[in-house]
């Protein structure tokens, strides 16, 4: 049994990770820490485990094997490196860090400590992404010319009579979050597009503020890839009813994924409709557990994580400077 301390309820996915632990026979929650003591105490009561206000005491506890980090993004580097130095395995919410430099320093500490780090990039394990990847690897679409991916919701739109949407106000704190919609929700289309299109060489960004006054909440990126493909990446906190969309265009075919519905038009595929649903890969937390227990190599890689931050860092610079950023 891997004994876990959950570190912070700052991110909206913290509760999801707690549920994932509680439903995994190989994991148990032993302790809660939170930079907000009151929030942490309440969470500990809900989980029926002790709350510890001193992070160092948590990390030094020999009864703790691993940590799940859902702190503000700007605390990731400090918390994760400290956990690694105490030989704790680490599962963390994306993004790993706000800059590539910080991400590389985190990985250096993790690799030196010999512990397992997993960053939650869950859509890399989805069957619809795997189908898109297959359409490229099996030559259905020919040479890839463009990948478009959109992930958006209306979490920033206030309901009638309310001042805020369902996203917590802390998601609009630029210092803590490192950015807005593109940094958080846009992470998913970024890492998917990167995996499908290859090495990025240039980024042009428009990070708009529709309702927010502090961070972007409606944004798009145009990414140039060394393969010659263009990437169009879209995200929003202020879009109601927008489905997840992933499109791959090539010289011999096009693939369209709308939520879980897949359609392909290709000179190399006889049926225009999806005929076989590929099984998804194990979820990030399951892959993390497997890596700890058996040394299995996760399908979510260091390259995926670093390149996600690389695009986000370039996007912020591109918007601020109003120009394309060379990578």
The answer to whether the Cα torsion of 180, 313, 12, 74 is positive or negative is negative
Q: What is the DSSP letter of 282?
A: P
pLDDT at position 277, please?
Answer: 64
pLDDT at position 18, please?
Answer: 98
Q: d(Cα 94, Cα 75) in Å, to the nearest integer?
A: 12
Q: How far is CA 311 from CA 80, 99, 113, in A?
A: 21, 10, 27
Share above pLDDT 90 across residues of the chain, in percent, rounded to a whole number: 91
| 71 and 161 share one domain | no
> Which pLDDT band, with edges at 50, 70 and 90, does 314 fall under?
very high
Last residue of one domain, picked from the residues 85, 120, 155 = 120
| 70 and 93 share one domain | yes
pLDDT in tens, 49-64: 999 999 999 999 999 9
Last residue of one domain, picked from the residues 281, 304, 322 = 281
pLDDT at position 281 over 70: yes
pLDDT at position 276, please?
Answer: 63
Burial class (CB in 10 A: 0-12, 13-18, 19+), 86: middle
The answer to whether the Cα torsion of 208, 211, 213, 214 is positive or negative is negative
Question: Is residue 297 in a domain?
Answer: no
pLDDT in tens, 132-170: 999 999 999 999 999 999 999 999 999 888 888 999 999
> Which pLDDT band, with edges at 50, 70 and 90, does 275 fall under?
low
pLDDT at position 273, please?
Answer: 59
Last residue of one domain, picked from the residues 92, 120, 148 = 120
Question: Is residue 147 in a domain?
Answer: yes
The CATH number for 221's domain is 3.30.360.10
Question: Is residue 316 in a domain?
Answer: no
Looking at the DSSP assignment, which residues form a beta bridge with residue 90?
67, 117
Tell me the helix, strand and coil percentages in the chain, rounded to 5.
35, 25, 40
| 142 and 20 share one domain | no
| 6 and 99 share one domain | yes
| 157 and 276 share one domain | yes
| 232 and 165 share one domain | yes
Q: d(Cα 101, Cα 269) in Å, to the nearest integer?
A: 44
Average pLDDT in the 9-24 region?
Answer: 98
Contact 24, 1 (CB under 8 A): no
pLDDT at position 60, please?
Answer: 98
| 273 and 249 share one domain | yes
| 132 and 60 share one domain | no
Question: Is residue 289 in a domain?
Answer: no
pLDDT in tens, 201-234: 999 999 999 999 999 999 999 999 999 999 999 9
| 63 and 131 share one domain | no
pLDDT at position 295, please?
Answer: 97
pLDDT in tens, 228-261: 999 999 999 999 999 999 999 999 999 999 988 8
Question: Is residue 301 in a domain?
Answer: no
Average pLDDT in the 101-130 region?
Answer: 97
| 133 and 62 share one domain | no
| 147 and 192 share one domain | yes
Full domain range(s) for residue 203: 123-281
Question: Is residue 234 in a domain?
Answer: yes
Q: How many domains does the chain have?
A: 2
Question: Is residue 318 in a domain?
Answer: no
The CATH number for 11's domain is 3.40.50.720
Q: Which helix (H) or strand (E) holds 251?
A: none
φ, ψ of residue 52 to 5 degrees: the values are -120, 120
| 229 and 264 share one domain | yes
pLDDT in tens, 112-123: 999 999 999 999
The answer to whether the Cα torsion of 157, 162, 168, 169 is positive or negative is positive
pLDDT at position 259, please?
Answer: 87
Question: Is residue 320 in a domain?
Answer: no
Q: d(Cα 109, Cα 92) in Å, to the nearest integer?
A: 15
């Amino acid at each position: 049994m891997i004994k876990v301390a959950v570190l912070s309820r700052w991110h909206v996915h913290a509760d999801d990770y707690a549920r994932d632990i509680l439903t995994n026979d190989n994991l148990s929650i032993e302790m809660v820490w939170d930079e907000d003591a009151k929030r942490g105490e309440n969470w500990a009561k809900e989980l029926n485990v002790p709350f510890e206000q001193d992070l160092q005491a948590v990390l030094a506890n020999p009864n703790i094997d691993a940590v799940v980090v859902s702190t503000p993004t700007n605390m990731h580097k400090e918390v994760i490196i400290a956990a690694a130095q105490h030989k704790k395995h680490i599962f963390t919410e994306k993004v790993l860090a706000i800059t590539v430099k910080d991400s590389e320093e985190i990985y250096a500490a993790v690799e030196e400590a010999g512990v397992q780090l997993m960053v939650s990039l869950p859509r890399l394990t989805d069957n619809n992404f795997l189908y898109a990847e297959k359409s490229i690897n099996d030559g259905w679409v020919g040479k890839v010319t463009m990948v478009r991916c959109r992930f958006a919701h209306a979490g920033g739109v206030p309901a009638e009579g309310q001042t805020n949407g369902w996203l917590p106000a802390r998601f609009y704190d630029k210092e803590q979050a490192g950015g807005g919609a593109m940094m958080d929700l846009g992470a998913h289309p970024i890492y998917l597009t990167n995996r499908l299109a290859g090495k990025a060489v240039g980024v042009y960004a428009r990070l708009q503020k529709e309702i927010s006054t502090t961070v972007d909440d409606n944004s798009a990126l145009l990414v140039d890839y060394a393969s010659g493909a263009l990437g169009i990446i879209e995200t929003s906190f202020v879009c109601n009813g927008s489905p997840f969309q992933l499109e791959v265009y090539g010289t011999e075919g096009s693939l369209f994924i709308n939520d879980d519905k897949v359609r392909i038009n290709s000179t190399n595929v006889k049926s225009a409709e999806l005929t076989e649903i590929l099984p998804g890969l194990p979820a990030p937390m399951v892959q993390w557990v497997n890596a700890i227990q058996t040394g299995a190599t996760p399908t979510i890689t260091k390259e995926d994580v670093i390149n996600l931050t690389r695009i986000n860092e370039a996007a912020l610079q591109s918007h601020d400077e109003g120009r394309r950023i060379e990578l």
